[in-house]
Amino acid sequence: MATANRHLSDSAKGRSPKAKISKENLRQALVLFTYLKPYRGMFIGGLIFIALSAFTTALFPFFLGKMIDAASPGASMPGMGAASKINFGLKNIHWSLNTTLLLIFCQLTVQTIFSFMRVYMLTAAGERSLADMRKDVYSKLLTMPMSYFSEKRVGELSNRISSDLSQISDAISFTLAEFLRGIFTLIIGLCFIFWISAKLALVMLAVVPIIAVLAVVFGMRIRKMARRAQDQLADSGTIVQETFHGISIVKAFTSEFHEIGRYVKSIRSVVVTAISNARYRGAFIAFMIFSVFGTIAFVMWFGAGMIKSGELTMGSLTMFVIFSMFVGGTFAGFADMFSQLQKTLGATQSVREILRGNGEPVDLKEIVVEPQYILKGNVRFDHVAFSYPGRKDVPVLKDLTLSASNGEQIAIVGPSGAGKSTIAALLLHFYEPDSGTLFFDERPAAAFPLSQLRRQMAFVPQDVMLFGGSIKENIAYGKPSATDDEIIAAAKSANAHVFVQNFPENYETIVGERGMKLSGGQRQRIAIARAILKDPAILILDEATSSLDSESEQLVQEALDNLMKGRTSFVIAHRLSTIRNADKIVLIDKCIVTESGTHTELMAHNGLYRKLNEMQFEFGVVTQSPAVDEVEE
């Protein structure tokens, strides 16, 4: 449970959870490297340039040592004649100061080119493979069933596409590169220090690993405390967010003092953790300064004795010290790379979980309805029973039988939680019935490809969702290939053309996030225009006028009447006065159909429908009635 909570916390804060480094996790991570296949030439080239870059970097201390030898009188090492043959004569090579400086600049030039190429080629391969991975993950998420989205947070799914995939990309283009570069540097550095002096190398290696291990332990502790401080700071940020979102409640309940107390308590814990972390960081820095400089001093002292005895030159000692720093720095860097590898494995687990998920069989291309799947508009629910996947013990519909003929308007009413919205979800095939069958034109729904079926339906919800683009783009969402004339004709039918023309930018007007720049009535009419342009055989309407003013309601109702002409329509009604002219009114209560007929027929019986009508009329309801309001199911 604690692991799950920590995973959720990491996801919510935009961090990839860490995973244990195991054979199975590494195998899963390597599967994602298949995305590098199309770019393997560039990737392999990057790896080659990593090795070349590490080697040319290692030449710098060598040339620097030779420069010091060139400036030191009598730098040749006695007794090195035989050794020079074994070591290819490198130890006895002497260049002038000018030659050595020229060689250093040549080495730096070549190293610069190699470094540029390794960064460029690995980044190019990583970013291109990441783009392919993002596309596949996003496409897979779009195919997931509604039950999947009901169990996941939007922020968590966004994090999978952004943070997790970026973590994987960083691992390919940066962490892997640094790891391999570190390995090459370590090998080359160790070879050089043993080549310079095996005796001095053994002295150095007796000290450096101890310092490196202690540095890793200290570093892990510091990172853990820093992470705790970040979590506590995020918690204090959450308090601020909640307070400002609910500022009217805070003021109404005079809870300013209480909220300040909550915030102060939160930030005090941040201060305590930060100060404690500072102690560790201070001790770590002091320890590293003492250890690093102490080790250098000890190596220099030992090396100076070797210089006196003629076993080493000043330049060779300089080379040795610099190579030792390379080796020590590489050891210390592996700890951070290990942490990054754990994060990458955690990210790959999340991404692989999505890619292996069971999505819906939808077409990921523009849908053209094939002749054999064209709907006339006849719908029939035959003894359908349903419970939501996360609440199988709570039945929503029991033995529902309901039919609609082509062009009929079917109104669905009932008390809160009766299952009205569930009927809409089943029509759109968001969920499968637990038992019973849904028929379209007397053919089972399963006989139709899912995309072909949904392409011939349109849904106009009460809470309209517009995308952040232009009015034209939002209307064209119903038919992406629509011409300007078709878009304008749809807007006119939806009573939207007049108000759109009043905007300076007309159909290019940006609606803002979720359509916030438009009024409720304007958003509804854009949604209706979108549905008209789609030209569906079956319409599903959630009461679109319940929260509008009288003028907007009249315009929207006219637009809805235009939309429903000649189409099979299912209207989920909250305000009963709007569905009196429906061809059939179906009342759902206690998960079953309890009443069915026209308004006149149902009013003639002393049933629940008549009671709900009388209740709304008696209280003069002008907004949606709590008695028939639909709970989110």
Tell me, letter by letter, the H, E, C secondary structure of 72-141.
CCCCCCCCCHHHHHHCCCCCCCCCCHHHHHHHHHHHHHHHHHHHHHHHHHHHHHHHHHHHHHHHHHHHHH
Q: Picking from 13-27, 273-287, 332-346, which range would have the lowest pLDDT averaged per residue?
A: 13-27
What pLDDT shows up at residue 11?
A: 46
Average pLDDT, the chain: 76
**What value does the mean pLDDT take over residues 391-414?**
84
Distances (CA, A) of 14 to 98, 132, 230, 233, 362: 54, 22, 12, 14, 30
Q: Which residue in the block uniquely carries the two structure tokens 């028929």? A: 439
pTM exceeds 0.85 = no
Q: E strands within 156-221?
A: none
What pLDDT shows up at residue 7?
A: 44
The tens digit of pLDDT for each residue in 141-179 reads: 888 887 777 777 666 677 677 777 777 777 777 777 777
Contact residues for 79 (Cβ-Cβ < 8 A; gap 6+): 310
Rounded CA gap, 438 and 444, in Å? 6
Domain assignment present for residue 207? The answer is: yes
Burial of 391 (C-beta count, 10 Å sphere; 0-12/13-18/19+): exposed
**What value does the mean pLDDT take over residues 436-458?**
87
Q: Picking from 98-112, 450-464, 613-627, which range would have the lowest pLDDT averaged per residue?
A: 613-627
**Which DSSP category does 163 fall into?**
I
**What value does the mean pLDDT take over residues 418-436?**
84
Q: Residue type for 134, please?
A: R
Question: Containing H/E element for 274?
Answer: helix 256-308
For 565-616, give the DSSP string: TTSEEEEE-SSGGGGTT-SEEEEEETTEEEEEE-HHHHHTTTSHHHHHHHHH
| Antiparallel, parallel or unpaired: β 443-444 and 397-404 | unpaired
Q: Which residue in the block uniquely carries the two structure tokens 């030992």? A: 302
Domain assignment present for residue 5? The answer is: no
Q: Which residue in the block uniquely carries the two structure tokens 């990491």? A: 10
Contact residues for 75 (Cβ-Cβ < 8 A; gap 6+): 69, 94, 313, 314, 315
pLDDT band at 616 (very low <50, low <70, confident <90, very high): low
**b/e sequence 232-254, b meaning 16+ C-beta within 10 Å:** bbbebeebeeebeeeeeebeeee
**What value does the mean pLDDT take over residues 508-519?**
78
Written as six digits, the tokens of 89 are 């004569």
Q: Which domain holds residue 115?
A: 21-355
Task: Evaluate whether 541 touches 460 at the Cβ level (below 8 Å).
Answer: yes
The tens digit of pLDDT for each residue in 46-102 reads: 888 888 888 888 888 888 877 777 776 554 444 443 333 334 456 667 777 888 888
Rounded CA gap, 254 and 250, in Å? 6
Rounded CA gap, 420 and 412, in Å? 6
Rounded CA gap, 179 and 177, in Å? 5
Domain assignment present for residue 312? The answer is: yes
What pLDDT shows up at residue 6?
A: 42
Distances (CA, A) of 107 to 46, 56, 57, 446: 19, 6, 8, 69
Give the CATH number of the domain where residue 204 resides. Answer: 1.20.1560.10
What pLDDT shows up at residue 418?
A: 73
Task: Evaluate whether 570 touches 410 at the Cβ level (below 8 Å).
Answer: yes
Q: In 3-state terms, what secondary structure has residue 256?
A: helix
CA 249 from chain centre, in angstroms, equals 33
Written as six digits, the tokens of 456 are 């011939």
Work out how many domains the chain is built from and give that number.
Answer: 1
Q: In 3-state terms, what secondary structure has residue 367?
A: coil
The tens digit of pLDDT for each residue in 6-57 reads: 444 444 444 455 555 556 666 666 666 778 888 888 888 888 888 888 888 8
Task: Evaluate whether 397 touches 384 at the Cβ level (below 8 Å).
Answer: yes
What pLDDT shows up at residue 155?
A: 64
